[in-house]
Amino acid sequence: MGRVVVTGKVPKPALDILRRAGHEVVAWEREEQQSRAQLLEQVSGADALVTLLTEQVDAELLDAAGEQLKVVANVAVGYNNVDVEACRSRGVVATNTPGVLTDATADLAMALILMTTRRLGEGERVIRSQTPWQWGMFYLLGSGLQRKTLGVVGLGSIGAATARRARAFGMNIIYSSRSAAPRELTSELGAHRVDLDTLLAESDVVSLHCPYSPATHHLLSASEFAAMKSSAYLINTARGPVVDEAALVEALKGGQIAGAGLDVFEDEPQVHPGLLDCENAVLLPHLGSATIETRTAMATLAADNAVSVLAGEDPPTPIG
Catalytic residues, which ones?
A: 239, 268, 286
Contacts for 241-246: CB closer than 8 Å, 24+ residues apart: 241/212, 241/217, 241/266, 242/208, 242/210, 242/212, 242/216, 242/217, 242/218, 243/208, 243/218, 243/219, 244/218, 244/220, 245/272, 245/274, 245/275, 246/272, 246/274
The H or E element spanning position 168 is helix 157-168
Q: Return the beta strands (E) in 63-191 as ranges.
A: 71-74, 93-95, 149-153, 172-176
Beta-bridge partners for 318: 95
With helix as H, strand as E and coil as C, how does 226-256 read?
HHCCCCCEEEECCCHHHECHHHHHHHHHCCC
